[in-house]
């Protein structure tokens, strides 16, 4: 948790360091629109860099500490308004600190009336416009990155997926048990709300470096790099962590849906081809036997009466983990495959 906190905080700090440094360059070499102390380029860069770091630390902390559930059920417009109002209030405080900083460096006193006139001057419109542009850009990039998966936006900009590329990945197909029966019992509208709640709880898997590849109806497809998925048995821990998260909220699910959802999962690891596909709507797609086999293993859960099954490929990479017991289920003929696949079921060790 601490590592995630500092990573987010210092990411914001770097972004605002760049933003304020760029602003200092515009003031130095562009049209001066706000009267202020006139010191050299290095002075501007230093002052704005300090303010940028402070802004980044504050916004990073706010973004991290603000509960995600706070805006989760709020409409996009209201969420945007709330976030903008929060950031605007913080920006006012930071601007006040900036004016005080400039005053200190410039060795001049500033009267309260000058301070008020500064905030309500027409010239400050440009400052606010710049600020909101930066905030918009930050959140736009964040949303796009969430759409494609963390880090994939940068890879797409670099053209990493322009041509098909072979990589090693771990895949998990996660599916709601008895989904058809549940939908008939509670109705399709309430069923959709149930899926929203379940996939909201699924966010806990990000602690285990999971990436969401796709949501397909009541099914989620998760993926990891081979290193992230096998290190510390992250892929397996993600499933049981999600299971425990659902169980912790059993009372909520029972109250709202008269049931506690259960999921089954199939996992596989191996080489896969990744490529950017589509024209009007682009996305990153994985093709190959590895992902198809993971889907077939998940289907086998119902036949075997197991909640989680993994392939021998993945078993050999995580078998040393002492938090789980692995039981061989033999070789099975998965649908659509010409050769049999050896699979294993998993149980958590008793504490």
Mean pLDDT on 126-138: 76
Quick one: tokens of 248? 């912790």
Categorize the per-residue pLDDT at 33 as very low, low, confident or very high, splitting at 50, 70 and 90: very low
The pTM (predicted TM-score) of the whole model is 0.74
State the chain's mean pLDDT as an integer: 80
Give the integer Cα–Cα distance in Å for 205 and 207: 5
Domain ranges of the chain: 2-148, 152-348
Tokens 């002492």 — which residue? 322
In 3D, which of 243, 193, 233, 194 has the Cα closest to residue 210? 233
Burial class (CB in 10 A: 0-12, 13-18, 19+), 235: buried
Opening angle at CA 226, ends 224 and 204, nearest 5: 30
In 3D, which of 232, 207, 211, 216 has the Cα closest to residue 167? 211
Mean pLDDT on 172-197: 95
Segment 186-234, tens digit of pLDDT: 999 999 999 999 999 999 999 999 999 999 989 999 999 999 999 999 9
pLDDT of residue 164: 86
Give the integer Cα–Cα distance in Å for 130 and 32: 14
Partners of 283 in beta bridges: 277
pLDDT tops 50 at residue 254: yes
pLDDT of residue 18: 80
Rounded percentage of the chain residues whose pLDDT exceeds 70: 68
Give the integer Cα–Cα distance in Å for 231 and 302: 28
Residue 184 backbone phi and psi in degrees, to 5 = -70, -35
Residue that wins the pLDDT comparison between 135 and 166: 166
Residue that wins the pLDDT comparison between 113 and 270: 270
Give Cα 63 distance to the centre of its chain.
13
Long-range contacts of 17-23 (CB under 8 A, 24+ apart): 17/49, 17/52, 17/53, 17/56, 18/52, 19/52, 19/134, 20/48, 20/49, 20/51, 20/52, 20/55, 21/45, 21/48, 21/49, 21/52, 23/48, 23/130
pLDDT of residue 340: 94
CATH of 152-348, one of 3.30.70.1230, 3.30.70.20, 3.30.1280.10, 3.30.43.10: 3.30.70.1230
pLDDT tops 60 at residue 24: yes
When mean pLDDT is compared across 186-195, 250-259, 332-341, the lowest value belongs to 332-341
Answer whether 265's CB lies under 8 Å from 174's CB.
yes
Residue that wins the pLDDT comparison between 271 and 7: 271
Segment 86-95, tens digit of pLDDT: 777 777 776 7
Quick one: tokens of 330? 């033999």
Give Cα 324 distance to the centre of its chain.
28
Rounded percentage of the chain residues whose pLDDT exceeds 90: 43
Give the integer Cα–Cα distance in Å for 213 and 220: 8
Contacts (Cβ under 8 Å, ≥6 apart) of 19: 52, 134
Query: Which among 58-62, 95-99, 193-197 has the top mean pLDDT?
Result: 193-197
Give Cα 342 distance to the centre of its chain.
33
pLDDT tops 80 at residue 151: no
Q: What is the phi-psi region of residue 55: left when phi exceeds 0, alpha when psi lies from -120 to 50, beta otherwise? A: alpha
Answer whether 233's CB lies under 8 Å from 323's CB.
yes
pLDDT of residue 34: 46
């Amino acid at each position: 948790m601490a590592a995630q906190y500092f990573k987010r905080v210092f990411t914001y700090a770097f972004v605002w360091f760049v933003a304020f440094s760029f602003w200092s360059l515009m003031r130095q070499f562009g049209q001066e629109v706000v009267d202020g102390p006139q010191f050299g380029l290095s002075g501007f860069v230093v002052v704005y860099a300090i303010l940028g770091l402070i802004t980044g630390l504050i916004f990073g902390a706010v973004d991290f500490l603000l509960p995600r559930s706070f805006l989760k059920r709020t409409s996009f417009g209201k969420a945007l308004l709330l976030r903008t109002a929060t950031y605007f209030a913080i920006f006012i405080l930071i601007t006040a600190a900036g004016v005080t900083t400039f005053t200190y460096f410039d060795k001049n006193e500033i009267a309260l009336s000058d301070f008020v006139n500064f905030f309500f001057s027409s010239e400050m419109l440009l400052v606010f416009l710049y600020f909101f542009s930066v905030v918009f850009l930050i959140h736009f990039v964040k949303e796009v990155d969430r759409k494609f998966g963390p880090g994939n936006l940068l890879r797409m900009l670099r053209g990493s997926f322009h041509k098909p590329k072979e990589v090693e990945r771990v895949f998990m197909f996660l599916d709601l048990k008895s989904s058809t029966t549940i939908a008939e019992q509670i109705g399709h509208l309430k069923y959709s709300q149930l899926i929203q709640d379940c996939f909201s709880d699924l966010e806990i898997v990000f602690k285990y470096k999971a990436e969401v590849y796709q949501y397909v109806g009541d099914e989620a497809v998760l993926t990891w790099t081979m290193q992230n998925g096998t290190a510390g048995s992250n892929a397996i821990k993600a499933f049981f962590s999600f299971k425990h998260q659902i169980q912790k909220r059993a009372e909520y699910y029972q109250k709202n849906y008269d049931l506690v959802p259960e999921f089954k999962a199939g996992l596989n690891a191996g080489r896969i081809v990744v490529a950017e596909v589509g024209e009007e709507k682009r996305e990153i797609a994985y093709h190959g036997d590895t992902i198809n086999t993971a889907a077939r293993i998940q289907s086998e859960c119902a036949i075997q009466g197991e909640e989680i099954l993994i392939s021998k490929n993945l078993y050999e990479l995580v078998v040393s983990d002492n938090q789980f017991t692995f039981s061989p289920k033999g070789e099975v003929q998965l649908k659509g495959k010409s050769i049999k696949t050896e699979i294993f079921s998993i149980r958590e060790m008793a504490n």
